[in-house]
């Protein structure tokens, strides 16, 4: 099974910063990769699907990229609402299997 590893586990940043979170797969995979934001005490929220497609209603400061074994989520101009935990998720549109990364907490510096 493909394992997903996020880095860093915790990231300290300030409002206005540009931050990048990396998700690495244990072997090369397709572009079926999503990113979620989870604020404290809330359900996860889909930000990005299929590596780089922005979910409807999500601010354009969120972007995703990558291929093969390395994928990234970038947040430009970090806003107060963005301090949360972010998860990557591998999925296979043709087979029931979803695998999450362990999460990256973005905290205030």
Partner 1 sequence: DVQLVQSGAEVKKPGESLKISCKGSGYSFTSYWIAWVRQVPGKGLEWMGVIHPGDSDTRYNPSFQGQATISADKSISTAYLQWSSLKASDTAMYYCARPRVVGVYDAFDLWGQGTMVTVSS
Q: Does 101 bind partner 1 (CB under 8 A)?
A: yes
Which of these ranges, 10-18, 19-27, 42-50, 66-74, lies near partner 1 under the rule CB under 8 A?
Answer: 42-50
Measuring CA to CA, how many Å separate 20 from each of 1, 15, 85? Answer: 26, 14, 13
Of residues 17 and 22, the one with the C-beta less far from partner 1: 22
| Site track for partner 1 across 1-30, x = CB under 8 A | ------------------------------
User: According to the binding rule CB under 8 A, does residue 40 interact with partner 1?
Assistant: no
Interaction of residue 93 with partner 1, rule CB under 8 A: yes
Q: Of residues 64-83, which lie at the interface with partner 1 (CB under 8 A)?
A: none
CB of 89 closer than 8 Å to CB of 97: no
Token couple for 92: 């296979």
Residue choice 2, 10, 67, 98 for contact with partner 1 (CB under 8 A): 98
Q: Are 97 and 2 in contact (CB under 8 A)?
A: no
First-last CA distance in the chain: 36
Residue number, 16 or 41, with CB nearest to partner 1: 41
Q: Whose structure tokens read 């780089």?
A: 52
DSSP 39: -
């Amino acid at each position: 099974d493909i394992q997903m590893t996020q880095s860093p586990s915790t990231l300290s940043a300030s409002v206005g910063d540009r931050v990048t979170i990396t998700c690495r797969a244990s072997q090369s995979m397709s572009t079926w990769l999503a990113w979620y934001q989870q604020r404290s005490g809330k359900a996860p929220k889909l930000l990005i699907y299929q590596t780089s497609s922005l979910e409807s209603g999500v601010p354009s400061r969120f972007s995703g990229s990558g291929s093969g074994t390395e994928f990234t989520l970038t947040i430009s101009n970090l806003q107060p609402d963005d301090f949360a935990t972010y998860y990557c998720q591998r999925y296979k549109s043709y087979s029931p299997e979803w695998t999450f990364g362990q999460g990256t907490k973005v905290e205030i510096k």
